[in-house]
Amino acid sequence: MKSLIWIFLKSFKDILKRQIISVILLPFVGSFILWGFVTWALWDWIVSIGFKLYGMGIMQNLVEFLSPYFIMTPNPLVAVTAGAFIFAVILPAVLITAILITSIFLVPLIVSEIRHSDFPSVVKKSNSLFAGAGVALSYSAKYFISWIGFMPFWFFIPAGTIIIPYLLLSWFNSRLFTWEVMIELADPLDIKSFIEENSKSLFALSLLTSLIYYIPILNLIAPVISSAAFARFCLSKINSQTQKIL
């Protein structure tokens, strides 16, 4: 556990490398712009869905229950509908997009920087930029479906609105970032074996890095910090294996 904490803390220093810090805000800024535009473009459709759902008794009860919290809003129905859509769809979409941007475009840079500075003996594999795209999209779909599927439990489990998203994000981070880092360093079959052998440590590391997403300001660079932590973990493991062989 001490080594994981050290890797986690070291990742804050890793992201200060010149090439990394120059693009550190790209994932969330790009994601916010994209999904802000999508929400704006779909606004009339979102509102129309709300009016249609209002015919259901459960929706009327929900609006009546939440309307005191929207006293500054002229139309509580619109506020509740928009809030539900943002919470259920836009929020996970923003997270997924930011993490995907990081994994596809920044992870190769981060792995390269840390490898050159601290693990020069580790050899890079000549995989393409989008070599792990299929797996990344698969993990993203599973995360989104799990987010929607577990939502009913959020309100019945004590602190469920915090614990469940936190655990889902930890799983998503551990699987996606490990795969994207390892695709720079190993073949797909070796990556699967690596994940199976180190699954507990990878999830424990992800529990640490996922905490950053809940800290204001720092959460804007959370995907980059997380990817740096997983890059250092994977590189140190591969380096240790290489040293044993030698």
What are the Cα distances from residue 84, in Å, to 38, 125, 158? 15, 44, 20
Q: Tell me what pLDDT residue 15 has.
A: 93
pLDDT band at 214 (very low <50, low <70, confident <90, very high): very high
Question: Under 8 Å CB-to-CB from 195, ≥6 apart: which residues?
Answer: 175, 178, 179, 182, 202
With contact defined as beta carbons under 8 Å apart, do 227 and 103 qualify? yes
**Using one digit for the tens of pLDDT, what is the confidence trace for 160-202?**
889 999 999 999 999 999 999 998 888 878 888 899 999 999 9
**Using one digit for the tens of pLDDT, what is the confidence trace for 8-57?**
999 999 999 888 888 888 898 999 999 989 888 888 877 777 666 655 65
Q: 87 or 230: which carries more pLDDT confidence?
A: 230
Mean of all residue pLDDT scores within the chain: 84
pLDDT band at 244 (very low <50, low <70, confident <90, very high): low
Q: 65 or 29: which carries more pLDDT confidence?
A: 29
Q: Tell me what pLDDT residue 235 has.
A: 93
Q: Tell me what pLDDT residue 157 has.
A: 83
Q: Tell me what pLDDT residue 51 has.
A: 65
Q: Tell me what pLDDT residue 94 has.
A: 92
Q: Tell me what pLDDT residue 72 has.
A: 46
What is 106-140 written as a DSSP string? IHHHHHHHHHHHH-TTSPPP---TTTTHHHHHHHH
**Using one digit for the tens of pLDDT, what is the confidence trace for 85-100?**
777 788 899 999 999 9
In whole angstroms, what is the distance from residue 193 CA to residue 199 CA? 10
Q: Tell me what pLDDT residue 50 has.
A: 65
In whole angstroms, what is the distance from residue 214 CA to residue 162 CA? 9
Element (H, E) at 23: none
Can you give the pTM of this predicted structure?
A: 0.86
Rounded mean pLDDT, 208-215: 94
C-alpha torsion angle, residues 49, 53, 55, 56 (rounded to 10): 170
